[in-house]
Chains A and B, each alone.
Chain A
Amino acid sequence: MHNKYVRRRRAVLAALVGVSLILLTAYFGESPSSPLHTVQRGIVQVLSPIQEGASTVLSPFRDVANWFSQTFHARSEVVQLRKKVQGLTDQLAQAQNAEILNRQLSREVHLDQLLNVDTYRPVTGDVIGRDPTLWYETIEIDRGSNDGVAVDDPVIGDGALVGKVSTVAPSVSFVELITDHSVNVAAQVQDRNGDSGLLVPAVGNPNELLLQDLPHIVPGQPGPQIGQLVVTAGYKAGPLDSLYPRGIPIGQVSNASENNLINNNEVQVSPAADLRHLSVVQVLTAPHGGSIRAQVP
C-alpha cells in the first residue's frame, strides 16, 4: 500500500515536470503566431474582463497602499528635485533660444511639424495589471486591436517613452517596458554633438538604463554630461524604420564617467517616467504616419 503510494507520487511528479519541460521547449522555439502563443492570447482575452473588474474593485486598496509608499518616496525626493529645478531653469532659457533657431531651420527643409503626439493617433489606456517577476517588466492595458493597437506600437506615459506593445488581444494588450530585458531603443543624447547609441536596460535595476555603442571619444574630448536629456533617435536606414518616432523623451544621463565612456562607449540613463507607478499610458497607433520625412531628391 505504502509502496503503491510512493510510486504514484513519483509518477505524478515525473509527469508534471515532463509536461512543464515539453511546454517550455515547444514555446521557446515557436514563432509568435504558433498554436501555443495563440492559445495564450485566447486565454488572456477570455480572462481580461475578469481582470478589468478585479482591477476596478481592488483599486481603492491599491491607492491607499500606494499613497503611503509614494508619500515616503516624495519626502526623500524634495531636496533632489529642488536642485534639479534650478538646473532646468537655466537649460530652459538655452532651449528656448535653440527652439527658435530650430524652427527657422526646419521650415527650410519642410520639417515644420513640431513633435506633436496627436499626429501619432494616440490611444489612451488604463493599466489593469502588472507582472510581479523581476525578469518580465510588462504591464497590461485595457486597449487592444479593437482600438487600433498593434504589436510594436510605441507607448508613452508620464511624459516619456515607457515601452512598446508586445502582445495584442482584441480588448487588452501587454506592454514591454523599456526596462524589460528584451527591449532596445535607438536613442540620442541632446548634447552639442547629438551622440546616438542603443539604449538597453540593466536587468534587476528598474531605475537605470545603459546607452551603449556611443561614438568613440578620446580623453579630453567632450562627451555626454550628467543631466542631459536622452530622446528616441527615430532612425531610418533604407527600408528599415525605427519603431519609435524621433524626439520622444526617454530619460536623463545619470552617470557619464569618462572612464566608462572611453572604455565601454556607454553612459547610464535614468528613465524620465516613473515606471513602477504608471496608471494611464498612451499607445501611438500611427508612429510613422504623422511626420513628414525629409526626402533626398
Chain B
Amino acid sequence: MNERTNLILRLVALAFGAVLIQEAAVSQITIFGVTADLMPLVVMSVGLLCGSMAGAAMGFGSGLLVDLVFVQTLGVTSLLYIAIGYWSGRVRELYDPSHGLVPLAGGLAATAVAGIGMALIQFLLGVDAPVSLLLVQQIFITILINTLIALPVYAIVRRILGGAVPEDPRRRRRRAYTTGGLSPLKRPSEGFAPIPRSSLK
C-alpha cells in the first residue's frame, strides 16, 4: 500500500470516527447551553497537516457525511468545510507555521467560519421562524469551547494520521536543526566545526 492510499484510508476512518463520536457523545453534552463541534476542528487539523487539496477533499467528504447522517440539506456543510480545509491547508503551504499555538488560532477561525457561515446560508435559504439574538451568544460560546479543545483535537488527528502525513512542518524544522542543515535561519559559518585551540598556538 503506497503512502497516498494509506493517507486516504486514514482520512476516511477519521471522518467516520469523528462523526460517530460527535453524534453519539459530544452532541449530547452541553456546556453553558451549547455543545462542542468537533468536525470543523478535525477538518482544520487535516488542512494544517496535509495541505490544501487534502484539506478541501476532507472538508467536502466530512461535510457530506455530516449532512447525510444528520439528515440536513445536502451540500451546505460541505461548502463550509471545503473553505475551512482549503484555507488551513493554504496557511500551511504559504507560512509553514511551526508555532505550537497555531491549531488554537485555526480552531477559532474554523469554528467562526462554520458558525457564521451556517447562519448566513440558512438566512439565504429562508428561515420561517423568528431568530433570537441569543444565537450570536451561542455561536460565540461554541467558538470559545472549540478553541479550548482545538489543541487536543489537533494532537489526536496528528497521531491518527501518523506517518501518512506528507511532511509535518514542525518535524521538518526539528530535523533541519538537529541534522545541522536545511535551515534558512542558520548562518553558513555555523556549519563548520569549532577551531581547535591547539591550532591557534
Contacts and interface: CB of A to CB of B under 8 A. Distances in A.
Given A182-B128, A210-B130, A130 B27 contact: yes
Interface string A161-183: 00000110000001000000110
Interface in A1-33: 8-9, 12-13, 16-17, 19-28
Contacts of A54: 20-21, 23-25
A65 B71 contact: no
Given A200-B130, A205-B134, A276-B33, A9 B125 contact: no
A256 B119 CA distance: 29
B127 A131 contact: no
A61 B79 CA distance: 32
Given A19-B60, A69-B29, A276-B30, A202 B132 contact: yes
A45 to B, nearest CB: 11
A200 B129 contact: yes
A279 to B, nearest CB: 8
Contact of B132 (A44, A50, A203): A203
Given A128-B24, A133-B37, A276-B33, A204 B69 contact: no
Contacts of B45: none
B44 to A, nearest CB: 16
Contacts of B30: 66, 69, 276-277
Interface in A95-153: 127-136, 138, 140
A19 B79 CA distance: 9
A208 interface: yes
Interface in B133-176: 133-139, 142
Given A9-B52, A69-B31, A208 B132 contact: yes
Contacts of B113: none
A202 B138 CA distance: 13
Contacts of A204: 131-138
A130 B21 CA distance: 11
A58 B25 contact: yes
Contact of B75 (A8, A20, A55): A20
Nearest to A48: B69
A181 B129 contact: yes
A181 B127 contact: yes
A40 interface: yes
A17 B131 contact: no
A9 B133 CA distance: 39
A62 interface: yes
Given A40-B68, A201-B129, A204-B131, A24 B23 contact: no
Given A20-B82, A181-B127, A129 B23 contact: yes
B72 A131 contact: yes
A54 B26 CA distance: 12
A66 B28 contact: yes
Contacts of B122: 135, 181
A166 B71 CA distance: 9
Interface in B89-109: none
Contacts of B69: 43-44, 47, 51, 129
A51 B74 contact: no
A5 to B, nearest CB: 9
A290 interface: no
A29 to B, nearest CB: 11
A138 B69 CA distance: 12
26 contacts: A12-B57, A16-B57, A16-B59, A16-B82, A20-B78, A27-B73, A28-B73, A40-B67, A40-B74, A41-B71, A47-B69, A51-B23, A54-B20, A54-B21, A54-B25, A61-B25, A129-B69, A131-B27, A132-B23, A134-B119, A184-B129, A200-B128, A203-B129, A204-B133, A205-B132, A210-B130
Given A132-B37, A136-B72, 5 more contacts: A13-B86, A27-B75, A130-B28, A133-B72, A203-B127
Interface of B: 20-31, 33-37, 39, 52-53, 56-57, 59-60, 63-64, 67-76, 78-79, 82, 86, 115, 118-119, 122, 125, 127-139, 142
